[in-house]
Amino acid sequence: MDKIVIFGGERLRGEARIHGAKNAALLIQCAALLTERVSTLRHVPKLSDIHTMSSLLTHLGCTVEGDRTVVVDPTQVADGPLEAPYDLVKTMRAAVTVMGPLLARYGHCRVSLPGGCAIGARPIDQHLRGLEALGAKIVLKHGYVELKARRLRGASFVFDTVTVGGTQNLMMAATLAKGTSRLENVAREPEVEELAIVLNKMGARIRGAGTSMIEVEGVDELDGFDHAVVPDRIEAGTLAVAAAITRGNVVLVDAPVDHMHATLAKLEEAGAECRVEPGGLRVIGPDRLEPIDVSTRPYPGFPTDMQAQMMVLAACADGQSLITETIFENRFMHVPELCRMGAEITVQGNSAVVRGGARLTGAEVMATDLRASASLVLAGLVASGKTEVRRVYHLDRGYESIEKRLRALGAKIQRRKDGRA
Ligand code: UD1
């Protein structure tokens, strides 16, 4: 297993090009199951989650080739197991979103229930209720969901809660249903809109993606796609925080600024300068950061995937910040680790009071989820002395070679072999 070793205190400078968005790419990979034709996905980030999804597609009978450009040939899926096994679903929850495409295209499938996950219970009741509304017969057996429908039929469905994965799953299922579906209270995240763009390229008839109501007129079959993934707003946001807290001056080439309004607004409130230039998004960190109050919300609100990173910024600010997590019930696992580095944070229910200004000091730290691990790397950039972030496989799920990117910007950071788990 690897660890990341950081010697803090360097100001970041230079340019970093933003990779393709993980959460968009994963779902577009699933969409390749909706057709018999070959599909090509470009600008794919090299991440372990993407490999896990490719393994699942291969398990289902697809031929998957390439990494930066991924080509999926699904011609053999009909002869495959039409099953997403527990080992893959527990590693990566997004695997449950093969349900919609498999059911719509092949009329049945079997998908392991994801179970609990490090950042909360994360149920899939909305996915299942939505598919039921489209006519699926669902049985839960031996930890698996078994779904059947000769042909899905268009229906109206109102989500009880805003779910990104649920919206994407149902939108994909509805593309091949007979008749029109009307999905209400849907997620408006850019990854939903991006998936709709791809599905429409395949011949689907989807309107309203990016708003809270999506209409899908079902079609009989879909074509393959050739699509380049949109840049990752969370990778860009994480690097923007890195620039802000190190009093850096960094240009994020290809940063999807239109998807980053909530994050950029908070960075500016904290005193960072965020400027859109012809070369990209320039972020300049101030000498003194102001405290900020942040509450996570569905898009276009502040993303839960940036909460941990913003907490590090709050820890560096002069004054008290309040960070509230409204999407997931257990997403403060970075707090004890940040406190071990000298941060002063108290959790009360779903809020964290951050008394900024304390000098962070390097320590051996470890987190149990992706964005929490990213926050520890950020803390290491400003902490005095040496920080070792262990269990780097969490980071590798969502950040491509983060140590190389930060090193290129002037950070003293390396990946080393870690003898311990
Ligand atoms: C969520 C985030 C997404 C982020 C991803 C990874 C939101 C709205 N979604 O997406 O931005 O990239 O995590 O961290 O911010 N829920 C149910 N029943 C369901 C599905 C979800 O109750 O069937 C609940 C979840 O427990 C959670 C909320 O709805 O509290 C949002 O979940 P959802 O959007 O589905 O999660 P992801 O798709 O993983």
Encode pLDDT of 374-386 as tens digits: 999 999 999 999 9
Supply the residue whose CA is at minimum distance from atom 8 of ligand 1: 298
Q: Which residue's entry shows tokens 């990979």?
A: 29
Domain 2-19+231-417 has CATH 3.65.10.10: yes
Percentage of residues in the chain having pLDDT higher than 90: 92
Q: Whose CA is nearest to atom 3 of ligand 1?
A: 164
Q: Which residues line ligand 1 (CB under 6 A)?
A: 23, 120, 122-127, 161-166, 187, 189, 298, 303-305, 327-328
Render pLDDT for 178-194 as a digit per residue (tens, 0 to 9): 999 999 999 999 999 99
Q: Whose CA is nearest to atom 33 of ligand 1?
A: 163
Q: What's the pLDDT score for residue 122?
A: 76
The best mutation among 327, 329, 375, 397 to test binding of ligand 1, ranked by most ligand atoms within 8 Å of the C-beta, falls on: 327
Q: Which of 30, 62, 109, 117 is catalytic?
A: 117
Q: Give mean pLDDT, residues 255-273.
A: 98
Rounded to the nearest angstrom, the gap between the alpha carbon of residue 189 and the centroid of all alpha carbons in its chain is 11
Nearest protein Cα to ligand 1, atom 32:
163
C-alpha–C-alpha distance, residues 252 and 205, integer Å: 34
Is there a common fold for 2-19+231-417 and 22-228?
yes
What residues contact residue 294 under an 8 Å CB cut-off, 6+ apart? 266, 302, 307, 310, 314, 321, 322, 323, 324
User: 22-228: what fold?
Assistant: UDP-n-acetylglucosamine1-carboxyvinyl-transferase; Chain (3.65.10)
**Tokens linked to 397:** 């799920």
Classify strands 83-84 and 70-73 as parallel, antiparallel or unpaired. Answer: unpaired
Residue 116 pLDDT > 70: no
- For the cut 70, the answer to whether the pLDDT of residue 120 exceeds it is no
For residue range 13-63, list pLDDT tens digits in order. Answer: 999 999 999 999 999 999 999 999 999 999 999 999 999 999 999 999 999
* pLDDT the model gives residue 91: 85
Ligand 1 atom having least distance to the Cα of 327? 30
Are 21 and 194 in contact, with CB atoms under 8 Å apart? yes
CA 164 to ligand 1 centroid distance, Å: 6
| Distance, CA of 15 to chain centre | 23
Give the closest residue (by CA) to ligand 1 atom 12: 305
109 tagged catalytic: no
Would you say 208 and 195 are in contact if contact means Cβ atoms under 8 Å apart?
no
Distance 180 CA to ligand 1 centre (A): 25
Per-residue confidence (pLDDT) for residue 232, from 0 to 100: 98
- Inter-residue contact 266 to 310 (CB < 8 Å): yes
For 358, phi and psi rounded to 5 degrees?
-70, 140
Q: Ligand 1 centroid vs 299 CA: distance in angstroms?
A: 11
Instruction: Provide the residue ranges of all domains of the chain, joining segments of one domain with +.
Output: 2-19+231-417, 22-228
**Which residue has the CA at smallest separation from atom 31 of ligand 1?**
163
Nearest atom of ligand 1 to the alpha carbon of 371: 14
**What secondary structure, in 3-state letters, does 161-180 show?**
CCCHHHHHHHHHHHHCCECE
Q: Which atom of ligand 1 is nearest to the CA of 168?
A: 38
Please tell me the predicted confidence (pLDDT) of residue 108.
97
* Nearest Cα residue to atom 20 of ligand 1: 124
* C-alpha 304 to ligand 1 mean position (Å): 9
- Among the residue ranges 77-86, 117-126, 159-168, 296-305, the one predicted with the least confidence is 117-126
DSSP 8-state assignment for residue 112: E
Residue-averaged pLDDT of the chain:
96
pTM, two decimals, is 0.96
pLDDT greater than 70 at residue 421: no
Tens of pLDDT, residue by residue over 123-141, are 899 999 999 999 999 999 9
**Amino acid type, 53:** M
Residue 117 confidence (pLDDT) = 64
Out of 122, 185, 235, mutate this one to test ligand 1's pocket (max ligand atoms within 8 Å of CB): namely 122
Please write the tens of the pLDDT for every residue from 313-369. Answer: 999 999 999 999 999 988 999 999 999 999 999 999 999 999 999 899 999 999 889
Q: Where are the alpha helices (DSSP H) in 246-369?
A: 261-269, 307-316, 334-340
- What three-state secondary structure class fits 252? strand
CA of 124 to the centre of ligand 1 (A): 9
Q: Quick one: average pLDDT of 238-267?
A: 98
What atom of ligand 1 comes closest to residue 126's alpha carbon? 23
User: Which atom of ligand 1 has the smallest separation from the CA of 129?
Assistant: 23
